[in-house]
Amino acid sequence: MTAIELREELFREMNPLLDSEVAMKKIISYVKELVVAQNKKSAVAPRKGWAAAAKKAHADGEDKLMIADVFEDERLEEMFCE
């Protein structure tokens, strides 16, 4: 299922519960718990391994710029001093 299809199904299933304040509070509470759990899971080490990967890329010569960082016709004074 695609994300759109899953979203549609979620709303279809929740629709009968939307008139119940108690059910909505439970749904919101559960969703908040899911978000907290997901944040804890992803916050453990969001950049774990990046330093080693950067060192390897440098050692392999894969950290070079793919395009020039300054263009021949680039004038910084035009961009910042108007």
What is the tens place of the pLDDT at every residue in 38-48?
A: 887 766 676 78
Distance CA 50, CA 48 (A): 6
Q: How far is CA 8 from CA 11, 22, 38, in A?
A: 5, 22, 22
Average pLDDT over residues 12-19: 88
pLDDT at 44: 64
pLDDT of residue 64: 84
pLDDT above 90 (res 58):
yes
Domain ranges of the chain: 3-80
